[in-house]
Amino acid sequence: MINYKIIDHTADIAVEFYGKSIEDLFESAASSLSQIVYQQNKPETTQEIQSLAFQFDNNDPAINFIDYLREILFLINQEHYYFTDCNITDFGNNILNITCDYIKINAIMIVNEIKAVTYHDCSITQKVIEGKELYVAKVTFDI
Amino acid sequence: MKFKGHTIDKISEAIWEIPQSDGMSSSARFYATQKMLPQIFKDNALTQLINVAHLPGIQKYAMAMPDIHYGYGFPIGGVAAFELDDGIISPGGVGYDINCGVRFCRTNLTYDDIKDQVENIVKGLYRYVPSGVGSSGAIKKLNQNEENEVMTKGAQWAIEKGFGETDDLGHTENFGCMEQANPDRISERARKRGLDQVGTLGSGNHFLEIGIIDEIYDAPLAEKLDVRLDQVIVMVHSGSRGFGYQICDDFLHEMVTKLSDLPFHIPDKQLACMPFRSELGQRYFQAMCCAANYAWANRQVLMSLAKKAIMKSLSISDHALGFKLIYDVCHNIAKLERHNVYGIEKMLCVHRKGATRAFGPGREELSDEYKDIGQPVIIPGDMGTHSYLLIGTEKAMTESFGSCCHGAGRVLSRSAAKRSFSFHEVKNKLQKQGIVVWSVQKNTLVEESPDTYKNVSDVVEAVEIAGLAKRIVRTRPLGVLKG
C-alpha cells in the first residue's frame, strides 16, 4: 500500500496521506514526509530513536494531524531528522505518545524543501481505494 | 458572467466585481484584462478571494491583483483592509514568509561594460551570497541581544553594521522598520531559527538578478529615478527566512485553537484570525513586525553582499559601480495605514499577501524624494523574461488601498513543471536567450521555469489599465542566482 500521493497545487504542494486507521495515518506520516523532503537521499547511518509526546488542543482529528505534522516538519527542517518508522504507544483523550526511529541527516541532502504545514482545506475522510477502505488525510504545504 | 454560482460584474476594462452575497461581509474585486480570465478561472483562487470577503470588518471589498493564483487561505495577490475596532488580523492573510519582498538597484554600468563578464558576476554572487535550503553564515551567528536589535531596528541595524548607506532607508518601504515590533512576543523556536539566517537568500522563488533596462516608458520619471536605457540593474528577492515562518506557524496554531471562541464563522481554517484589538491579535501584530524588520535587515545585507560581489568580479571601485537602491517593497505584510473609505478617513489594517504597496504622490509615508511623484513599484517577471519598474498612482489610493501586484503569478504547479521539463532543458533554453543561471538546487530551476508563470507583460498591462501603477522602465535579465 502506498502511504502518500502528491497532488498538484498551483503555488505549493498538496499531499494525500493514507492509512488503514487514524493511528496508521499518524504512524506512517512522519516517514512519508521525510521521503518527500529527502526523496532518495536516505543515508545508511546509525539509527536513533526518539519518543515524542503531543498534547492536542483540539477535538478535530484533521487539525490534530496538522499539528502533529508541524512538529515532525520542525524536526526535519531544524534537526534534519529522516524518520523511518513510528509506533504509537498511547493515543486518545487528546494525547499522542509515539516512538519514532530516525536518522540524523545533512541539510544539504534536502531535495524538496517544505517550509510549513498549512491548515488550508485540511480533512480526514474515509475512501475506498483499490478495494481497500482507507483513511485519507489531505494536507497543503507551503514550499 | 458566472463563477461557481457567483455573478461577476464588469466594472471597467480591467476591474471585475463579485457582488456581496450570503455570508460575505463585502463584495470582492479582481483586476485583470479579458484575455486573462480563462487562466484565472482555471484554479480555485477566486473561491479563496470570496472566502476573504467573509471576514468581519473588511472595508470596501476583498481584492486580488492581476497576478492572482491559488494559494492557501488568502489567494496569492490578495489585498484586504480591516477596521481596527471591528476588524481582524490574520497570520494567514500575511503568509509564512513575512515581508518577503524585492529591491531594485541601479548602477553606473552599461551592457557593454559587463557583456563578457556575466558568468563571472553570477559566480561571484554565488560565492558571496549564501543561498539555497537552510543557507546560513553570511555574517557571524547573532547572539540574543543582536537578534533583538535586528527585530527592532530592521534595515537600520544592517546599515550600522556596515551593510549599505543611511540614504537607503528613504528608499525602503516604511524606512525599513516597523516600530511596533516587540521581541518579547517571539518564541524560542523562532529565535533559534533566526540566529544564523540574516544575509541569506534561501530557496524557492527567491533570487538575485542582474539585468539591463531595455525600454523606457516615462522618460522624465526615469530621469528623476536616475535610471536610463542600457543601464545595468540588480534585483534582490528574499524575506524573513525561517524566523518569519516560525512566527506565522506559532500564531496560526494559537489562533486555530481559539477559533471556536470567535463570534463569526470562517470558511477556511487557514484564515484563522483574531480581532485586531484583542490581546492575541496585538501579540501577533507585534511579532509580525519583528519578522518584517528581520526581512528588511536581511535584504539590506543581501544587497550589500551583491554589490561587493559585483565589485570583486569586475575589479572596480565603489565609485565606478555607482550602486544605489531605488526602492524596496514588501509582499507579505499587514500594516496600519490611513485610507479614505467612501469619504471617511480611517486607520486600517491592510493585509497584502503576494501584493505590493503602490502609494501615489503626497503620502506622508514616503521620503521627500518620492513624496511628489509616488512610490516606485517593482514587478519582477520570471527568470527568462522582463521585469518592470513602475510608480504608484492616485487611482491606486482610491481603488486598491494603494496596492498593486507583486509579480507575474504562477500558472503551472511545481509537480507539473517537474513532469514537463528537465533541468538541462530549462538551463539550455535560458542560455539560448543569453541568460546565465546558477541554481543551488536543480529542482528549484525546474520548478521556477519561465513556463510556469503568467506573461508578466500581460499582468503589467492589466495593472496599468486598471490604473493601479504606471510603467517607468522595463528590464531584461542577464544573470540569475536562484536558491
At CA A58, angle to CA B245 and CA A74, rounded to 5? 30
The number of distinct structural domains making up chain A is: 1
- Closest of B447, B424, B434 to residue B480, by C-alpha: B434
Give pLDDT, residue B430. Answer: 93
Give pLDDT, residue B149. Answer: 98
CA distance A92 to chain B (A): 18
CA distance B456 to chain A (A): 16
Which grid coordinates belong to B431? Answer: 542560455
Residue in chain B nearest A117 by alpha carbon = B249
Overall residue count recorded for chain B in this entry? 483
User: Cβ contact (<8 Å) for A78 and B193?
Assistant: yes
User: Cβ contact (<8 Å) for B192 and A78?
Assistant: yes
Residue extents of the structural domains in chain B: 2-482
Helical packing angle, B279-314 and B118-128, nearest 10°: 130
Of the candidates B134, B204, B249, the beta carbon closest to that of A143 is on: B204
CA dist., res. B224 & res. B296, Å (int): 25
CA distance B242 to chain A (A): 8
| CATH number for the domain that contains residue A133 | 3.55.10.10
Helical ranges in B154-278 per DSSP H: 155-160, 188-194, 219-224, 241-257
**Comparison of pLDDT for B154 and A84, the residue scoring more:** B154
Cβ-contact B384, B430 below 8 angstroms: yes
C-alpha separations of B110 from B214, B233, B276, B316, B481 in Å: 11, 9, 49, 14, 20
**Which residues in chain B touch residue A112, judged by CB atoms under 8 angstroms apart?**
443
Of the candidates B242, B269, B443, the beta carbon closest to that of A122 is on: B269
A16 in contact with chain B, both atoms CB, cutoff 8 A: no
User: Cβ contact (<8 Å) for A116 and B203?
Assistant: no
User: Cβ contact (<8 Å) for A140 and B72?
Assistant: yes
Q: Supply the mean pLDDT for chain B.
A: 95
Which of B69, B171, B386, B406 is an active site residue?
B406
CATH number belonging to domain B2-482 = 3.90.1860.10
CA distance B72 to chain A (A): 5
DSSP string, B170-192: GGBGGGG--TT--GGG--HHHHH
User: Cβ contact (<8 Å) for A10 and B189?
Assistant: no
Q: Which domain holds residue A76?
A: 4-142
Report the relative pairing of strands B324-330 and B101-110 from DSSP bridges.
antiparallel
Give pLDDT, residue A42. Answer: 66
Going by pLDDT thresholds of 50, 70 and 90, the confidence category of residue A113 is confident
The torsion of the CA quartet B318, B323, B325, B330, rounded to 10 degrees, works out to -100
Show Cβ contacts of residue A93 under 8 Å, excluding neighbours closer than 6 positions. none
**Which residues in chain B touch residue A57, judged by CB atoms under 8 angstroms apart?**
257
Show Cβ contacts of residue B284 under 8 Å, excluding neighbours closer than 6 positions. B89, B91, B185, B251, B255, B274
Give pLDDT, residue A43. Answer: 64
Residue in chain B nearest A57 by alpha carbon = B257
Going by pLDDT thresholds of 50, 70 and 90, the confidence category of residue A57 is confident
A13 in contact with chain B, both atoms CB, cutoff 8 A: yes
Of the candidates B69, B269, B415, the beta carbon closest to that of A13 is on: B415
pLDDT in tens, B182-229: 999 999 999 999 999 999 998 888 999 999 999 999 999 999 999 999
Give pLDDT, residue B78. Answer: 98
Going by pLDDT thresholds of 50, 70 and 90, the confidence category of residue A40 is low
Give pLDDT, residue B88. Answer: 97
User: Cβ contact (<8 Å) for B71 and A112?
Assistant: no
- Rounded to two decimals, the pTM is 0.95
CA dist., res. B89 & res. B272, Å (int): 9
A142 in contact with chain B, both atoms CB, cutoff 8 A: yes
Is residue A41 scored above 70 in pLDDT? no
A56-75 residues touching B, CB cutoff 8 A: 57-58, 63, 67, 70, 74
Cβ-contact B341, B60 below 8 angstroms: yes
CA distance B105 to chain A (A): 27
Interface of B with A (CB under 8 A): 43, 45, 69-73, 76, 92, 96-97, 133-134, 189, 192-193, 203-204, 242, 245, 248-249, 252-253, 256-257, 268-270, 272, 410-416, 441, 443
Between the two ends of chain A, the Cα-to-Cα distance in Å is 26
Show Cβ contacts of residue A100 under 8 Å, excluding neighbours closer than 6 positions. A30, A49, A50, A51, A52, A83, A85, A86, A87
How many CB atoms sit inside 10 A of residue B166's CB? 10
Q: For chain B, which residues score pLDDT lower than 70?
A: 133-134, 136
CA distance B476 to chain A (A): 24
**Residue A46, class by beta-carbon neighbours within 10 Å (0-12 exposed, 13-18 middle, 19+ buried)?**
exposed
Task: State yes or no: is B406 an active-site residue.
Answer: yes
**Which residues in chain A touch residue B406, judged by CB atoms under 8 angstroms apart?**
none
Which grid coordinates belong to B136? Answer: 546560513
